[in-house]
Structure 1
Amino acid sequence: MSLLANTVTHKYTGESITFLKTSSETNGEYLLIEVSLPPNGEGPPLHCHDRFVEEFVVKEGNLTVNINKVEQIVEVGEALTAPIGTAHTFRNAHDEPVVFQVRLTPPQQFEESVRIHYGLMDDGLTDDKGVPKSLFHIALILVLQNTLVTDKPLWLQRALFGTLIQIGKLTNKYKPLEKYTGKKIKL
């Protein structure tokens, strides 16, 4: 039985993520989360994943999703999929909250990345927008969740993150972060 919270909340934006089905509960097949974005809440920058598919299903409100620079409004009961390698982002462009589920198949270490990111926020180790102050932490979070920002050269991000991860491992930057995940970080 895990002592980790089922729901984590972004200290600065109010976004909350509830882990409905974790990777360990699905034998590594998928992760199912429920995200709640407050009115006019921003999501992540335009990004892609080259190791998992992301499926969105809206439960309450309307979600604005951008896939390959085409913006769509996803309403209650509707679903939208961001295939592997597809540039995408989401936001709440409306005056009421939106709640949506996201299924990540396969999940990589997305849960661990979120727990680390939100834990760093709670411990004051990010700026006032929630961006980690340490480049080693940024690299770790992005690698664990297999996220590449699409407005920067992908090859450069992979090279930079790989180098930072190796230095971080050698200098023991990641062991203290295990308090957020409750287990060893696999790199």
Structure 2
Amino acid sequence: MARAGDVLEHPVTGERVVWLRVARDTDGRLLEGDIFARPGGHPAATHVHPHQEERFRVVQGTVRFEVDGGKRVLGAGETTTVPPGRAHTWANVGDDEACVRVEIEPALRTEMFFETFFGLAKDGRTNSKGLPNLLSMAVILREYDAEMQLARPPPPSSEPSSLPSRCSAGRWDTEGGTRSTRPRRCRDLGDRSARAASQANRNATRSPRS
């Protein structure tokens, strides 16, 4: 379970998240954190929060925000709000590390999504853009479809599914800086990934009907 003060790092995208208030601190009303990004750092993909409003305040640095294709460059002290259902992303376009204060309302299970997504990146299970392979990404997005959707499909990847390697006795591996959340969650994701892979293999080898 995430706690205020926890730190998550994504080595590919250059993001570092420090949680200030998590869901259990606010009775699920709000998730708040500081996101630090090195020059050029940005989220792995343009995305959508179907049911959540996301508010940004630039604490330091120069950050370009893109919402539904429109672009704005903000500096320290400036803010922007992304309503639910709007495709968005951002990037540090300055020469120094940027810090953005982020509030996501309601919290839902967003912190658990970040733990999963950043954990795979920390284990080296993503491509050069910071995204897992298609099968793993499909499983994650199905699990967290209320919190996160991609604005466009990710590019193909030849990497094998990596979700089962995150498990140990049915729990998330904590060595990569992530915390154990719900004990059955990792097992469920791994089983689902394995079933999908097995079905794909059967479809590929099935003889066509005459």
| 1:26 positional shift | 0.8
Aligned: 1:150 with 2:151 = yes
Q: Structure 1, unaligned stretches of length 5 or more?
A: 153-167
2:181 to 167, 180, 183: 183
Shift of 1:45: 2.4
1:35 aligns with 2:29: no
Q: What TM-score results when the alignment is normalised by the length of structure 2? A: 0.68
What is the alpha-carbon root mean square deviation over aligned residues?
3.0
Q: Is the 8 A contact 1:132 1:138 kept in 2?
A: no
AA matched with 1:182: S
Q: Return the alpha-carbon distance in structure 1 between the equivalents of residues 130 and 60 of structure 2.
A: 25
Sequence identity (%):
23
Q: How many residues align?
A: 168
Q: How does 1:1-187 map to 2 (within 5 A)?
A: 6-133=6-133, 135-141=135-141, 143-144=143-144, 146-151=147-152, 176=170, 178-179=172-173, 180-184=178-182, 185=185
Kept in 2, the 8 Å contact 1:4–1:182? The answer is no
Structure 2 counterpart SS, 1:111: helix
Q: Which has the larger radius of gyration?
A: 2
> Residue 23 of structure 2: SS of its match in structure 1?
coil
Give the alignment's TM-score, normalised by structure 1. Answer: 0.76
Judged with a 3 Å threshold, the aligned counterparts in structure 2 of structure 1 residues 131 and 104 are, in CA distance, closer, same or farther, namely: same
SS in 2 for 1:40: coil
Q: 1:5 to 1:129 in 2, by over 3 A?
A: farther
Whole-Å Cα distance in 1 between the matches of residues 15 and 116 of structure 2? 15
In the TM superposition, what whole-angstrom CA distance separates every residue of 1:36-71 from its partner, at most 9, and x where no partner exists?
110122334222111100000110011110112110
